[in-house]
Amino acid sequence: MRHELRSPVTGSVWIHSVGVGQEVSAGTVVLVLECMKMEVPLETAVDGTVTELVEPGTQVGEGDVVAVIVPHETQSHGTT
């Protein structure tokens, strides 16, 4: 299972706030987009490990995947 962080706007990836392999908590800013001279911070909604990041300077469209976080397992998925 993976959580895809998608761009809400057309713009470019400006800067990463975390790195690949880094553990993050829900609410952590993962990267910042630049759109028409405005900074758009993107936060993760899950606790997990960053496994993919789009490189700074990359042009992205609305809905494009810009980061992937693999969530931490918070509960057992076994049956009883």
Distance of CA 57 to the CA centre of its chain: 16
Predicted confidence (pLDDT) per residue in 17-64, tens digit: 999 999 999 999 999 999 999 999 999 999 999 999 999 999 999 999
Q: What is the pLDDT of residue 1?
A: 87
**Fold observed for domain 3-60:** OB fold (Dihydrolipoamide Acetyltransferase, E2P) (2.40.50)
Q: What is the pLDDT of residue 40?
A: 97
Whole-prediction pTM: 0.86
Q: What is the pLDDT of residue 80?
A: 45
Boundaries of every domain in the chain? 3-60
CA 39, 63, 48, 74 dihedral sign is positive
Backbone angles phi, psi at 30, to 5 degrees: -90, -45
CB 47 within 8 A of CB 2: no
